[in-house]
Copies of this chain bind each other. A is one copy, B any other.
């Protein structure tokens, strides 16, 4: 499995808009086992996103989909970048879909 943990920096006042876009875009992408969006409770301009995919290729392929491209285009002006991002190799746990 392939995982990503990232902290996204959002323009002030735009966090809820970005949350809505992310949640709408990731309902059931091929190869996606887990995708969770979380507010940073200590930082109103930050979001945490944790992802688990069957493999890195599935994640890469998702980024080429028209629906994901549209979501990225919509969210990008409100995102200033990643404060933090790490790739992981998930081994198991509770809550992996499919």
Contacts and interface: CB of A to CB of B under 8 A. Distances in A.
A70 interface: no
Contact of A93 (B26, B41, B88, B96): B26
B93 A95 contact: no
Given A48-B3, A48-B86, A33 B95 contact: yes
Interface in A9-29: 19, 22-23, 26-28
Interface of A is mostly: strand
Contacts of A5: 5, 48, 50
A67 interface: no
Given A38-B88, A40-B89, A94-B97, 17 more contacts: A3-B36, A3-B48, A5-B5, A27-B94, A34-B36, A34-B93, A36-B52, A36-B92, A36-B94, A37-B91, A38-B89, A39-B90, A39-B91, A41-B87, A48-B86, A50-B50, A95-B97
